[in-house]
Structure 1
Protein backbone atom coordinates (compact mmCIF):
# COMPACT_ATOMS: atom_id res chain seq x y z
CA UNK A 1 0.00 0.00 0.00
CA UNK A 2 1.36 3.40 -0.98
CA UNK A 3 1.81 6.13 1.63
CA UNK A 4 2.77 9.79 1.49
CA UNK A 5 6.12 8.77 2.95
CA UNK A 6 6.80 6.21 0.22
CA UNK A 7 5.72 8.64 -2.52
CA UNK A 8 7.92 11.37 -1.05
CA UNK A 9 10.89 9.03 -0.85
CA UNK A 10 10.39 7.92 -4.45
CA UNK A 11 9.98 11.52 -5.63
CA UNK A 12 13.13 12.57 -3.78
CA UNK A 13 15.16 9.80 -5.41
CA UNK A 14 13.72 10.38 -8.90
CA UNK A 15 14.17 14.16 -8.85
CA UNK A 16 17.70 13.81 -7.50
CA UNK A 17 18.46 11.55 -10.44
CA UNK A 18 16.81 13.86 -12.97
CA UNK A 19 18.51 17.05 -11.82
CA UNK A 20 21.85 15.26 -12.08
CA UNK A 21 21.24 15.19 -15.86
CA UNK A 22 21.72 18.92 -16.34
CA UNK A 23 23.47 18.46 -19.66
CA UNK A 24 20.53 16.54 -21.13
CA UNK A 25 17.67 18.65 -19.77
CA UNK A 26 19.29 22.10 -19.71
CA UNK A 27 22.65 22.57 -21.43
CA UNK A 28 21.86 20.80 -24.72
CA UNK A 29 18.38 22.36 -25.14
CA UNK A 30 19.82 25.83 -24.49
CA UNK A 31 22.53 25.11 -27.07
CA UNK A 32 19.91 23.98 -29.62
CA UNK A 33 17.87 27.16 -29.18
CA UNK A 34 20.94 29.37 -29.47
CA UNK A 35 21.96 27.56 -32.66
CA UNK A 36 18.51 28.26 -34.11
CA UNK A 37 18.79 31.94 -33.17
CA UNK A 38 22.20 32.06 -34.85
CA UNK A 39 20.89 30.40 -38.01
CA UNK A 40 22.68 27.08 -37.45
CA UNK A 41 19.62 24.92 -36.64
CA UNK A 42 16.14 24.57 -38.14
CA UNK A 43 12.92 25.29 -36.28
CA UNK A 44 12.18 21.57 -35.98
CA UNK A 45 13.55 20.93 -32.49
CA UNK A 46 12.78 24.17 -30.67
CA UNK A 47 9.46 23.07 -29.18
CA UNK A 48 11.10 19.93 -27.80
CA UNK A 49 14.01 21.97 -26.42
CA UNK A 50 11.55 24.22 -24.60
CA UNK A 51 9.71 21.16 -23.28
CA UNK A 52 12.97 19.78 -21.85
CA UNK A 53 13.84 23.12 -20.26
CA UNK A 54 10.42 23.31 -18.63
CA UNK A 55 10.90 19.82 -17.21
CA UNK A 56 14.32 20.76 -15.87
CA UNK A 57 12.96 23.71 -13.91
CA UNK A 58 10.01 21.67 -12.65
CA UNK A 59 12.31 18.94 -11.36
CA UNK A 60 14.29 21.58 -9.48
CA UNK A 61 11.10 23.13 -8.10
CA UNK A 62 9.73 19.88 -6.72
CA UNK A 63 13.10 18.82 -5.31
CA UNK A 64 13.99 22.12 -3.68
CA UNK A 65 10.54 22.94 -2.32
CA UNK A 66 9.66 19.53 -1.00
CA UNK A 67 13.02 18.59 0.40
CA UNK A 68 14.86 21.85 1.12
CA UNK A 69 11.92 23.97 2.12
CA UNK A 70 13.53 27.03 3.68
CA UNK A 71 17.02 27.14 2.23
CA UNK A 72 16.07 27.68 -1.40
CA UNK A 73 12.75 29.54 -1.25
CA UNK A 74 13.64 32.12 -3.93
CA UNK A 75 14.93 29.37 -6.22
CA UNK A 76 11.69 27.44 -5.75
CA UNK A 77 9.44 30.32 -6.68
CA UNK A 78 11.50 31.22 -9.74
CA UNK A 79 11.76 27.61 -10.86
CA UNK A 80 7.99 27.14 -10.69
CA UNK A 81 7.30 30.32 -12.65
CA UNK A 82 9.97 29.65 -15.25
CA UNK A 83 8.93 26.02 -15.73
CA UNK A 84 5.27 26.95 -16.15
CA UNK A 85 5.95 29.79 -18.57
CA UNK A 86 8.36 27.80 -20.75
CA UNK A 87 5.87 24.91 -20.98
CA UNK A 88 3.12 27.25 -22.15
CA UNK A 89 5.48 28.86 -24.67
CA UNK A 90 6.46 25.41 -25.96
CA UNK A 91 2.83 24.62 -26.79
CA UNK A 92 2.37 28.13 -28.16
CA UNK A 93 5.32 27.43 -30.47
CA UNK A 94 3.95 24.04 -31.53
CA UNK A 95 0.45 25.36 -32.23
CA UNK A 96 1.67 28.42 -34.12
CA UNK A 97 3.76 26.26 -36.45
CA UNK A 98 0.81 23.94 -36.92
CA UNK A 99 -1.36 26.79 -38.18
CA UNK A 100 0.98 27.25 -41.14
CA UNK A 101 2.16 23.70 -41.78
CA UNK A 102 -0.72 21.32 -42.43
CA UNK A 103 1.03 18.12 -41.38
CA UNK A 104 2.69 19.61 -38.32
CA UNK A 105 0.70 18.62 -35.24
CA UNK A 106 3.21 18.29 -32.42
CA UNK A 107 2.17 19.46 -28.96
CA UNK A 108 2.76 19.16 -25.25
CA UNK A 109 0.64 16.17 -24.21
CA UNK A 110 -2.77 17.28 -22.97
CA UNK A 111 -2.47 15.69 -19.52
CA UNK A 112 0.66 17.78 -18.99
CA UNK A 113 -0.58 20.96 -20.68
CA UNK A 114 -3.74 21.20 -18.56
CA UNK A 115 -1.50 21.13 -15.48
CA UNK A 116 0.53 24.04 -16.81
CA UNK A 117 -2.70 25.98 -17.25
CA UNK A 118 -3.58 25.26 -13.62
CA UNK A 119 -0.12 26.33 -12.48
CA UNK A 120 -0.53 29.63 -14.32
CA UNK A 121 -3.71 30.26 -12.33
CA UNK A 122 -1.92 29.47 -9.06
CA UNK A 123 0.76 31.98 -10.04
CA UNK A 124 -1.84 34.69 -10.64
CA UNK A 125 -1.46 34.85 -14.43
CA UNK A 126 -5.20 34.96 -14.93
CA UNK A 127 -5.39 36.37 -18.46
CA UNK A 128 -2.71 34.06 -19.83
CA UNK A 129 -4.15 31.02 -18.05
CA UNK A 130 -7.67 31.57 -19.38
CA UNK A 131 -6.39 32.18 -22.92
CA UNK A 132 -4.31 29.02 -22.66
CA UNK A 133 -7.31 27.04 -21.43
CA UNK A 134 -9.26 28.14 -24.51
CA UNK A 135 -6.31 27.21 -26.71
CA UNK A 136 -6.18 23.71 -25.20
CA UNK A 137 -9.85 23.21 -26.03
CA UNK A 138 -9.14 24.29 -29.61
CA UNK A 139 -6.28 21.77 -29.70
CA UNK A 140 -8.55 19.05 -28.28
CA UNK A 141 -10.94 19.59 -31.16
CA UNK A 142 -8.10 19.92 -33.65
CA UNK A 143 -5.26 17.91 -35.14
CA UNK A 144 -2.97 18.31 -32.12
CA UNK A 145 -4.97 16.17 -29.66
CA UNK A 146 -7.72 14.74 -31.92
CA UNK A 147 -10.11 14.37 -28.99
CA UNK A 148 -7.29 12.91 -26.89
CA UNK A 149 -7.93 9.65 -24.97
CA UNK A 150 -9.74 8.44 -21.82
CA UNK A 151 -6.84 6.60 -20.17
CA UNK A 152 -6.34 9.26 -17.47
CA UNK A 153 -9.37 10.70 -15.68
CA UNK A 154 -7.84 13.62 -13.76
CA UNK A 155 -7.05 15.83 -16.79
CA UNK A 156 -10.71 15.62 -17.84
CA UNK A 157 -11.71 16.57 -14.31
CA UNK A 158 -9.42 19.60 -14.51
CA UNK A 159 -10.85 20.58 -17.89
CA UNK A 160 -14.42 20.23 -16.60
CA UNK A 161 -13.70 22.41 -13.56
CA UNK A 162 -12.14 25.07 -15.78
CA UNK A 163 -15.13 24.98 -18.14
CA UNK A 164 -17.66 25.19 -15.30
CA UNK A 165 -15.84 28.26 -14.00
CA UNK A 166 -15.61 29.88 -17.44
CA UNK A 167 -19.13 28.75 -18.46
CA UNK A 168 -17.82 26.88 -21.50
CA UNK A 169 -19.99 24.20 -23.13
CA UNK A 170 -17.80 21.37 -24.38
CA UNK A 171 -18.64 19.52 -27.60
CA UNK A 172 -18.33 15.95 -26.34
CA UNK A 173 -18.86 14.57 -29.85
CA UNK A 174 -15.32 15.76 -30.61
CA UNK A 175 -13.80 14.29 -27.45
CA UNK A 176 -12.79 10.78 -26.40
CA UNK A 177 -14.20 11.39 -22.94
CA UNK A 178 -13.99 8.63 -20.30
CA UNK A 179 -17.13 6.51 -20.00
CA UNK A 180 -16.77 6.46 -16.22
CA UNK A 181 -15.17 9.32 -14.28
CA UNK A 182 -15.13 7.23 -11.11
CA UNK A 183 -14.12 9.17 -8.01
CA UNK A 184 -14.46 12.47 -9.86
CA UNK A 185 -18.21 12.10 -10.46
CA UNK A 186 -19.18 13.43 -7.04
CA UNK A 187 -16.53 16.17 -7.18
CA UNK A 188 -17.95 17.44 -10.48
CA UNK A 189 -21.53 17.18 -9.23
CA UNK A 190 -20.68 19.12 -6.06
CA UNK A 191 -17.90 21.32 -7.44
CA UNK A 192 -19.48 24.50 -6.04
CA UNK A 193 -20.84 23.09 -2.78
CA UNK A 194 -20.97 25.36 0.27
CA UNK A 195 -20.94 22.34 2.60
CA UNK A 196 -17.40 22.26 4.00
CA UNK A 197 -17.91 18.83 5.56
CA UNK A 198 -18.86 17.40 2.16
CA UNK A 199 -15.96 19.26 0.55
CA UNK A 200 -13.49 17.73 3.02
CA UNK A 201 -14.90 14.25 2.37
CA UNK A 202 -14.56 14.65 -1.39
CA UNK A 203 -11.01 15.98 -1.07
CA UNK A 204 -10.11 13.01 1.12
CA UNK A 205 -11.57 10.62 -1.46
CA UNK A 206 -9.62 12.35 -4.23
CA UNK A 207 -6.49 12.23 -2.07
CA UNK A 208 -6.84 8.48 -1.57
CA UNK A 209 -7.25 8.06 -5.33
CA UNK A 210 -4.27 10.31 -6.06
CA UNK A 211 -2.02 8.34 -3.71
CA UNK A 212 -3.19 4.94 -4.97
CA UNK A 213 -2.81 5.96 -8.63
CA UNK A 214 0.62 7.63 -8.37
CA UNK A 215 2.82 5.10 -10.12
CA UNK A 216 5.49 5.32 -12.83
CA UNK A 217 5.42 1.59 -13.55
CA UNK A 218 3.75 0.21 -16.68
CA UNK A 219 1.14 -2.55 -16.48
CA UNK A 220 -0.53 -4.67 -19.13
CA UNK A 221 -3.99 -4.53 -17.55
CA UNK A 222 -4.24 -0.95 -16.25
CA UNK A 223 -2.87 2.57 -16.59
CA UNK A 224 -2.17 4.50 -13.37
CA UNK A 225 -3.89 7.88 -13.45
CA UNK A 226 -0.80 9.75 -12.24
CA UNK A 227 2.14 8.32 -14.18
CA UNK A 228 4.75 10.96 -13.32
CA UNK A 229 6.54 11.68 -10.04
CA UNK A 230 6.39 15.35 -11.02
CA UNK A 231 2.97 15.34 -9.37
CA UNK A 232 3.02 12.51 -6.83
CA UNK A 233 3.18 14.93 -3.87
CA UNK A 234 1.83 17.94 -5.79
CA UNK A 235 -1.86 17.16 -6.53
CA UNK A 236 -2.42 19.92 -9.05
CA UNK A 237 -5.90 18.63 -9.95
CA UNK A 238 -7.17 19.36 -6.43
CA UNK A 239 -5.24 22.62 -6.15
CA UNK A 240 -6.91 23.85 -9.35
CA UNK A 241 -10.38 23.02 -8.02
CA UNK A 242 -9.74 24.69 -4.66
CA UNK A 243 -8.20 27.72 -6.35
CA UNK A 244 -11.23 28.21 -8.59
CA UNK A 245 -13.56 27.76 -5.61
CA UNK A 246 -11.66 30.52 -3.83
CA UNK A 247 -11.89 32.78 -6.88
CA UNK A 248 -15.69 32.59 -6.94
CA UNK A 249 -16.04 33.17 -3.20
CA UNK A 250 -16.98 29.68 -2.02
CA UNK A 251 -16.09 28.53 1.52
CA UNK A 252 -12.41 27.66 1.81
CA UNK A 253 -11.08 24.20 2.51
CA UNK A 254 -9.25 23.37 5.73
CA UNK A 255 -6.61 20.68 5.06
CA UNK A 256 -7.18 17.56 7.11
CA UNK A 257 -4.96 14.98 5.47
CA UNK A 258 -1.21 14.55 5.18
CA UNK A 259 -0.92 15.28 1.47
CA UNK A 260 -2.92 18.50 1.53
CA UNK A 261 -1.03 19.69 4.61
CA UNK A 262 2.30 19.58 2.79
CA UNK A 263 3.68 23.15 2.40
CA UNK A 264 4.02 22.73 -1.36
CA UNK A 265 0.25 22.30 -1.73
CA UNK A 266 -0.89 25.91 -1.49
CA UNK A 267 -3.94 26.51 -3.69
CA UNK A 268 -4.27 30.20 -2.84
CA UNK A 269 -3.48 32.51 -5.74
CA UNK A 270 0.01 33.96 -5.68
CA UNK A 271 0.64 37.37 -7.19
CA UNK A 272 3.68 36.84 -9.38
CA UNK A 273 4.86 38.44 -12.58
CA UNK A 274 5.13 36.45 -15.78
CA UNK A 275 8.87 36.00 -16.31
CA UNK A 276 10.52 37.49 -19.34
CA UNK A 277 12.99 34.94 -20.67
CA UNK A 278 15.34 36.52 -23.18
CA UNK A 279 16.25 33.37 -25.10
CA UNK A 280 12.56 32.64 -25.77
CA UNK A 281 11.95 36.20 -26.97
CA UNK A 282 14.94 35.98 -29.29
CA UNK A 283 13.82 32.61 -30.66
CA UNK A 284 10.32 33.95 -31.36
CA UNK A 285 11.76 37.01 -33.08
CA UNK A 286 13.97 34.76 -35.22
CA UNK A 287 11.00 32.59 -36.21
CA UNK A 288 8.92 35.63 -37.18
CA UNK A 289 11.87 36.97 -39.15
CA UNK A 290 12.29 33.69 -41.04
CA UNK A 291 8.56 32.99 -41.41
CA UNK A 292 6.66 36.30 -41.38
CA UNK A 293 3.41 34.51 -42.20
CA UNK A 294 3.42 32.87 -38.74
CA UNK A 295 1.57 34.49 -35.83
CA UNK A 296 1.69 33.33 -32.23
CA UNK A 297 -1.59 32.38 -30.60
CA UNK A 298 -0.51 33.59 -27.14
Structure 2
Protein backbone atom coordinates (compact mmCIF):
# COMPACT_ATOMS: atom_id res chain seq x y z
CA UNK A 1 0.00 0.00 0.00
CA UNK A 2 1.31 3.44 -0.94
CA UNK A 3 0.68 6.09 1.71
CA UNK A 4 0.01 9.61 0.49
CA UNK A 5 1.67 11.80 3.09
CA UNK A 6 0.98 15.05 1.25
CA UNK A 7 -2.58 15.29 2.53
CA UNK A 8 -1.65 14.57 6.15
CA UNK A 9 -0.55 16.85 8.96
CA UNK A 10 2.65 16.19 10.89
CA UNK A 11 0.94 14.36 13.76
CA UNK A 12 -0.80 11.98 11.37
CA UNK A 13 2.50 11.23 9.64
CA UNK A 14 4.18 10.52 12.96
CA UNK A 15 1.34 8.25 14.07
CA UNK A 16 1.54 6.18 10.89
CA UNK A 17 5.32 5.96 11.04
CA UNK A 18 5.37 5.02 14.72
CA UNK A 19 2.65 2.40 14.31
CA UNK A 20 4.56 0.72 11.51
CA UNK A 21 7.84 0.84 13.42
CA UNK A 22 6.33 -0.70 16.56
CA UNK A 23 4.67 -3.43 14.52
CA UNK A 24 8.03 -4.28 12.98
CA UNK A 25 9.83 -4.21 16.32
CA UNK A 26 7.25 -6.46 17.94
CA UNK A 27 8.02 -9.07 15.30
CA UNK A 28 11.38 -9.51 17.03
CA UNK A 29 10.17 -11.23 20.19
CA UNK A 30 13.19 -13.51 20.19
CA UNK A 31 15.62 -10.58 20.22
CA UNK A 32 13.81 -8.38 22.73
CA UNK A 33 12.16 -10.92 25.03
CA UNK A 34 12.94 -14.62 24.64
CA UNK A 35 16.74 -14.46 24.41
CA UNK A 36 17.14 -11.77 27.11
CA UNK A 37 15.11 -13.77 29.62
CA UNK A 38 17.01 -16.91 28.65
CA UNK A 39 20.40 -15.25 29.19
CA UNK A 40 19.38 -13.74 32.52
CA UNK A 41 18.13 -17.11 33.76
CA UNK A 42 21.44 -18.59 32.60
CA UNK A 43 23.26 -16.05 34.78
CA UNK A 44 21.15 -17.08 37.75
CA UNK A 45 22.22 -20.69 37.10
CA UNK A 46 25.91 -19.70 36.81
CA UNK A 47 25.91 -20.41 33.08
CA UNK A 48 26.50 -16.78 32.00
CA UNK A 49 28.61 -14.03 33.56
CA UNK A 50 27.08 -10.91 35.07
CA UNK A 51 27.97 -8.68 32.11
CA UNK A 52 24.81 -9.89 30.31
CA UNK A 53 22.40 -8.46 32.89
CA UNK A 54 22.28 -4.74 32.15
CA UNK A 55 22.03 -5.14 28.39
CA UNK A 56 19.26 -7.72 28.66
CA UNK A 57 17.30 -5.71 31.22
CA UNK A 58 17.48 -2.86 28.69
CA UNK A 59 16.16 -5.10 25.91
CA UNK A 60 13.27 -6.25 28.10
CA UNK A 61 12.50 -2.63 28.93
CA UNK A 62 12.29 -1.89 25.21
CA UNK A 63 10.01 -4.87 24.60
CA UNK A 64 7.42 -3.72 27.12
CA UNK A 65 7.70 -0.11 25.95
CA UNK A 66 7.04 -1.13 22.34
CA UNK A 67 3.88 -2.86 23.53
CA UNK A 68 2.84 0.21 25.50
CA UNK A 69 3.09 2.49 22.46
CA UNK A 70 1.64 -0.10 20.09
CA UNK A 71 -1.45 -0.69 22.23
CA UNK A 72 -2.04 3.04 22.43
CA UNK A 73 -1.95 3.30 18.64
CA UNK A 74 -3.80 0.11 17.71
CA UNK A 75 -6.24 -0.32 20.60
CA UNK A 76 -6.57 3.25 21.90
CA UNK A 77 -5.61 2.13 25.38
CA UNK A 78 -2.69 2.75 27.70
CA UNK A 79 -1.38 -0.32 29.49
CA UNK A 80 -0.27 0.69 32.95
CA UNK A 81 1.45 -2.64 33.44
CA UNK A 82 3.57 -2.36 30.31
CA UNK A 83 4.89 1.11 31.13
CA UNK A 84 5.55 0.11 34.74
CA UNK A 85 7.47 -3.04 33.81
CA UNK A 86 9.37 -1.23 31.06
CA UNK A 87 10.40 1.56 33.40
CA UNK A 88 11.42 -0.84 36.15
CA UNK A 89 13.67 -2.89 33.88
CA UNK A 90 15.33 0.32 32.66
CA UNK A 91 16.00 1.62 36.17
CA UNK A 92 17.36 -1.72 37.28
CA UNK A 93 19.57 -2.01 34.20
CA UNK A 94 21.55 1.05 35.29
CA UNK A 95 21.28 0.01 38.94
CA UNK A 96 22.96 -3.31 38.17
CA UNK A 97 25.57 -1.77 35.88
CA UNK A 98 26.48 0.84 38.52
CA UNK A 99 26.71 -1.95 41.11
CA UNK A 100 29.13 -3.91 38.93
CA UNK A 101 31.11 -0.75 38.25
CA UNK A 102 31.95 -0.58 41.95
CA UNK A 103 33.66 -3.96 41.72
CA UNK A 104 35.35 -3.58 38.34
CA UNK A 105 37.27 -0.39 37.61
CA UNK A 106 37.01 -0.81 33.85
CA UNK A 107 33.28 -1.63 33.87
CA UNK A 108 31.40 1.46 32.67
CA UNK A 109 28.33 0.05 30.92
CA UNK A 110 25.08 2.03 31.13
CA UNK A 111 21.96 2.88 29.19
CA UNK A 112 22.76 6.12 27.29
CA UNK A 113 21.96 9.24 29.28
CA UNK A 114 19.46 10.62 26.76
CA UNK A 115 17.39 7.48 27.34
CA UNK A 116 17.98 7.15 31.08
CA UNK A 117 16.72 10.66 31.87
CA UNK A 118 13.43 9.71 30.19
CA UNK A 119 13.13 6.66 32.44
CA UNK A 120 13.58 8.93 35.44
CA UNK A 121 10.72 11.08 34.15
CA UNK A 122 8.54 8.00 33.67
CA UNK A 123 9.17 6.93 37.26
CA UNK A 124 8.05 10.34 38.52
CA UNK A 125 4.98 10.34 36.28
CA UNK A 126 4.07 6.91 37.65
CA UNK A 127 4.17 8.34 41.17
CA UNK A 128 7.34 6.56 42.26
CA UNK A 129 8.63 9.71 43.93
CA UNK A 130 11.42 8.32 46.11
CA UNK A 131 12.62 5.94 43.41
CA UNK A 132 12.50 8.60 40.71
CA UNK A 133 14.41 11.16 42.79
CA UNK A 134 17.01 8.60 43.88
CA UNK A 135 17.44 7.56 40.26
CA UNK A 136 17.89 11.17 39.20
CA UNK A 137 20.66 11.54 41.77
CA UNK A 138 22.23 8.32 40.52
CA UNK A 139 22.25 9.72 36.98
CA UNK A 140 24.13 12.77 38.26
CA UNK A 141 26.80 10.51 39.74
CA UNK A 142 27.01 8.70 36.42
CA UNK A 143 27.28 12.00 34.54
CA UNK A 144 30.23 13.03 36.67
CA UNK A 145 31.62 9.49 36.67
CA UNK A 146 33.02 6.91 34.30
CA UNK A 147 29.64 5.84 32.93
CA UNK A 148 28.79 9.07 31.07
CA UNK A 149 31.98 11.14 31.49
CA UNK A 150 30.09 14.42 31.14
CA UNK A 151 28.02 13.05 28.22
CA UNK A 152 27.78 15.06 24.98
CA UNK A 153 25.81 18.03 23.62
CA UNK A 154 24.35 16.37 20.51
CA UNK A 155 20.82 16.15 21.98
CA UNK A 156 19.40 19.16 23.77
CA UNK A 157 16.26 17.78 25.43
CA UNK A 158 18.08 15.53 27.96
CA UNK A 159 19.90 18.57 29.33
CA UNK A 160 16.61 20.45 29.56
CA UNK A 161 15.11 17.56 31.53
CA UNK A 162 18.14 17.44 33.82
CA UNK A 163 17.95 21.20 34.43
CA UNK A 164 14.26 21.01 35.33
CA UNK A 165 14.90 18.13 37.74
CA UNK A 166 17.80 19.96 39.39
CA UNK A 167 15.87 23.23 39.71
CA UNK A 168 13.07 21.31 41.42
CA UNK A 169 15.47 19.49 43.74
CA UNK A 170 17.60 22.62 44.31
CA UNK A 171 20.71 20.90 42.97
CA UNK A 172 23.56 23.02 41.59
CA UNK A 173 25.10 21.43 38.51
CA UNK A 174 28.89 21.41 38.16
CA UNK A 175 29.12 22.48 34.54
CA UNK A 176 32.90 22.12 34.59
CA UNK A 177 32.40 18.36 34.61
CA UNK A 178 29.74 18.34 31.89
CA UNK A 179 29.91 18.63 28.12
CA UNK A 180 26.96 20.98 28.24
CA UNK A 181 25.63 22.44 24.96
CA UNK A 182 26.90 25.90 24.10
CA UNK A 183 23.41 26.88 22.97
CA UNK A 184 20.18 25.38 24.31
CA UNK A 185 17.98 26.84 21.60
CA UNK A 186 14.28 26.77 22.42
CA UNK A 187 14.99 25.07 25.74
CA UNK A 188 17.02 28.05 26.87
CA UNK A 189 14.02 30.36 26.57
CA UNK A 190 11.82 27.87 28.42
CA UNK A 191 14.34 27.51 31.25
CA UNK A 192 14.30 31.28 31.75
CA UNK A 193 10.55 31.09 32.46
CA UNK A 194 10.27 27.49 33.68
CA UNK A 195 8.36 28.52 36.83
CA UNK A 196 6.25 31.30 35.29
CA UNK A 197 2.83 31.98 36.75
CA UNK A 198 1.64 33.56 33.51
CA UNK A 199 -0.66 30.91 31.99
CA UNK A 200 -0.63 32.65 28.63
CA UNK A 201 3.16 32.50 28.48
CA UNK A 202 3.07 28.89 29.72
CA UNK A 203 0.71 27.90 26.92
CA UNK A 204 2.91 29.60 24.32
CA UNK A 205 6.05 27.91 25.64
CA UNK A 206 4.39 24.49 25.54
CA UNK A 207 3.19 25.14 21.98
CA UNK A 208 6.73 26.09 20.99
CA UNK A 209 8.14 22.95 22.58
CA UNK A 210 5.54 20.79 20.84
CA UNK A 211 6.34 22.32 17.48
CA UNK A 212 10.03 21.67 18.06
CA UNK A 213 9.39 18.12 19.31
CA UNK A 214 7.43 17.22 16.19
CA UNK A 215 9.93 18.84 13.84
CA UNK A 216 12.85 17.04 15.53
CA UNK A 217 11.21 13.58 15.63
CA UNK A 218 13.20 11.83 12.94
CA UNK A 219 15.01 8.48 12.81
CA UNK A 220 16.95 9.33 9.65
CA UNK A 221 20.65 10.16 9.82
CA UNK A 222 22.09 13.35 8.36
CA UNK A 223 25.62 14.57 7.81
CA UNK A 224 24.92 18.13 8.88
CA UNK A 225 22.56 17.72 11.83
CA UNK A 226 21.34 15.34 14.51
CA UNK A 227 17.56 15.26 15.14
CA UNK A 228 16.86 15.84 18.82
CA UNK A 229 14.41 12.92 19.00
CA UNK A 230 15.98 10.04 17.05
CA UNK A 231 13.71 7.25 18.31
CA UNK A 232 10.07 6.65 17.42
CA UNK A 233 9.54 5.51 21.01
CA UNK A 234 9.14 9.17 21.92
CA UNK A 235 7.78 10.74 18.74
CA UNK A 236 4.29 10.94 20.25
CA UNK A 237 5.16 10.58 23.93
CA UNK A 238 6.49 14.08 24.67
CA UNK A 239 8.27 13.04 27.84
CA UNK A 240 10.41 16.18 28.21
CA UNK A 241 7.31 18.39 28.23
CA UNK A 242 5.47 16.03 30.57
CA UNK A 243 8.32 16.13 33.09
CA UNK A 244 8.31 19.92 33.12
CA UNK A 245 4.54 20.17 33.53
CA UNK A 246 4.54 17.44 36.18
CA UNK A 247 7.17 19.20 38.26
CA UNK A 248 5.32 22.51 37.91
CA UNK A 249 2.19 20.76 39.19
CA UNK A 250 4.11 19.29 42.13
CA UNK A 251 5.29 22.80 43.00
CA UNK A 252 1.77 24.22 42.97
CA UNK A 253 2.37 26.47 39.97
CA UNK A 254 -0.53 27.42 37.65
CA UNK A 255 -1.68 24.50 35.54
CA UNK A 256 -1.62 23.98 31.81
CA UNK A 257 -4.67 23.41 29.61
CA UNK A 258 -3.87 21.37 26.46
CA UNK A 259 -4.07 23.66 23.47
CA UNK A 260 -2.48 21.70 20.66
CA UNK A 261 -2.87 18.33 18.99
CA UNK A 262 0.19 16.68 20.52
CA UNK A 263 -0.68 17.52 24.11
CA UNK A 264 -4.28 16.42 23.62
CA UNK A 265 -3.15 12.84 22.95
CA UNK A 266 -4.10 10.63 25.94
CA UNK A 267 -0.55 9.29 26.12
CA UNK A 268 0.66 12.77 27.09
CA UNK A 269 -0.71 12.82 30.63
CA UNK A 270 1.59 14.85 32.87
CA UNK A 271 -0.44 14.40 36.07
CA UNK A 272 1.18 12.19 38.69
CA UNK A 273 -0.30 8.70 38.65
CA UNK A 274 -0.40 6.93 41.99
CA UNK A 275 0.83 3.50 40.96
CA UNK A 276 2.70 0.88 42.93
CA UNK A 277 6.28 -0.07 42.13
CA UNK A 278 6.11 -3.55 40.56
CA UNK A 279 7.98 -6.46 42.09
CA UNK A 280 9.41 -8.40 39.19
CA UNK A 281 10.58 -11.85 40.22
CA UNK A 282 13.38 -12.02 37.65
CA UNK A 283 14.86 -8.72 38.83
CA UNK A 284 14.72 -9.77 42.47
CA UNK A 285 16.35 -13.09 41.62
CA UNK A 286 19.22 -11.35 39.84
CA UNK A 287 19.82 -8.83 42.62
CA UNK A 288 19.81 -11.52 45.29
CA UNK A 289 22.46 -13.47 43.39
CA UNK A 290 24.62 -10.39 42.83
CA UNK A 291 24.53 -9.57 46.54
CA UNK A 292 25.66 -13.13 47.25
CA UNK A 293 28.41 -12.93 44.62
CA UNK A 294 29.68 -9.54 45.81
CA UNK A 295 29.25 -9.26 49.60
CA UNK A 296 29.93 -5.77 50.87
CA UNK A 297 28.64 -3.98 47.77
CA UNK A 298 25.18 -2.39 47.89
CA UNK A 299 22.70 -1.29 45.24
CA UNK A 300 21.86 2.39 44.88
CA UNK A 301 18.16 1.65 44.26
Shorter-chain TM-score bucket reads over 0.9
Offset, 1:288: 1.4
Quick one: distance in 2 between partners of 1:277 and 1:263?
27
Task: Choose from 43, 52, 69 the match for 2:50.
Answer: 43
Offset, 1:293: 3.4
Quick one: distance in 2 between partners of 1:154 and 1:230?
15
Matched, 1:244 2:247: yes
Aligned to 1:268: 271
Quick one: distance in 2 between partners of 1:67 and 1:164?
37
5 Å matches for 1:121-200? 121-200=124-203
Quick one: distance in 2 between partners of 1:100 and 1:172?
28
Quick one: distance in 1 between partners of 2:73 and 2:112?
25
Aligned to 2:223: 220
Give secondary structure in 1 for the equivalent of 2:254. coil
Offset, 1:204: 0.6
Quick one: distance in 1 between partners of 2:54 and 2:141?
19
Moved over 6 A (4+): none
Matched, 1:86 2:92: no
Give secondary structure in 1 for the equivalent of 2:222. coil
Task: Choose from 26, 35, 38 the match for 1:28.
Answer: 35
Task: Choose from 16, 19, 25 the match for 2:26.
Answer: 19
Matched, 1:67 2:71: no
Offset, 1:138: 0.6
Quick one: distance in 1 between partners of 2:295 and 2:277?
26
Aligned to 1:57: 64
5 Å matches for 1:267-286? 267-286=270-289
Offset, 1:99: 1.2
Aligned residues: 294
Offset, 1:67: 2.7
Quick one: distance in 2 between partners of 1:265 and 1:271?
16
Asked if 2 retains the 8 angstrom alpha-carbon contact of 1:66 and 1:264, the reply is no
Superposed CA offset, 1:203-227 (max 9, x none): 1111110001000011111000000
Matched, 1:119 2:122: yes
Aligned to 1:296: 299
Aligned to 2:101: 98
Give secondary structure in 1 for the equivalent of 2:202. helix
Give unmatched runs, 5+ long, in structure 2: 1-5
Offset, 1:287: 1.3
Asked if 2 retains the 8 angstrom alpha-carbon contact of 1:140 and 1:148, the reply is yes
Across the aligned residues of Structure 1 and Structure 2, the Cα RMSD in angstroms comes to 1.0
Offset, 1:152: 0.3
Quick one: distance in 1 between partners of 2:73 and 2:155?
25
Quick one: distance in 1 between partners of 2:46 and 2:145?
31
Quick one: distance in 2 between partners of 1:67 and 1:161?
33
